[in-house]
Amino acid sequence: MDKNSHIWAAIDGLSKSDLKQLYRVARTLLFRTSFRDPQELAHEALARALAGTRQWPSQAVPFMAFAVMAMKSIADASRKSPEQARTVTFDGFTAEGVSLSGSLWASATASPEDALIESECEAERQMQLEKLRRHFENDRQVRLLIESLANRKSSDDIRTELQCTRGEYEALRKRLRRAVVKLFRRGSRS
């Protein structure tokens, strides 16, 4: 008997509904990981279970709960990986799957390809920031918010600079997030 036969049986026993639920959970775990697709994360968890690097205590834990916890652990490890640690996502510049982040490579041993990628990312970031600046050219507070976020200021510093309350700050961020979604949604022609 194969040592993984109970895992294969559990995988084979997953219904379409179970798989949809697993992928839905995986989608919520993707943020700031190296995984770009929920199925990729779910399949990684199942592959690790089959490889024996994730042990399923089948007598104590239902398989779906095990799979979800494995995905959570894998996603957390991905977020903490050196590759992900080198990527800076600007607070308030990510909304509903639309990211205006620029990657800053910290490695002193970066290859020429990394340098080219970095310069392309920075050029794209600057174009995105310019598009936002034009969109908010008549809204001084949101423009200041954009500049402050681009300069990596803390929310407390930004609120002090804008002389606004936490509620007013959150309202500004909400306006900015909505504009980000509108302007940078995949397939957008704006």
- SS3 category, 103: strand
Q: Are 64 and 18 in contact (CB under 8 A)?
A: yes
- Cα–Cα distance for residue pair 4/154, rounded to 1 Å: 49
Q: How many CA atoms lie within 13 A of 50 on its CB side?
A: 12
Give residue 185's pLDDT: 66
Name the residue with higher pLDDT: 186 or 128.
128
Sign of CA dihedral 7, 68, 90, 96: positive
Kindly state the DSSP code that residue 102 receives in the 8-state scheme: E
If you average pLDDT over residues 168-184, what whole number do you get? 85
User: Which tokens belong to 20?
Assistant: 């949809």
Q: Rounded to an integer, what distance in angstroms lies between the CA atom of residue 34 and that of residue 47? A: 17
Q: Is the pLDDT of residue 187 over 60?
A: no
In the predicted structure, residue 44 carries a pLDDT above the cut 70: yes
Q: pLDDT by residue (tens digit) across 132-164?
A: 889 899 998 988 888 888 777 888 888 898 899
Per-residue model confidence (pLDDT) at position 156? 86
Looking at every residue in the chain, the average pLDDT score rounds to: 77
pLDDT tens for 48-99 read 888 888 888 888 889 999 999 999 999 888 877 765 544 444 444 444 444 4
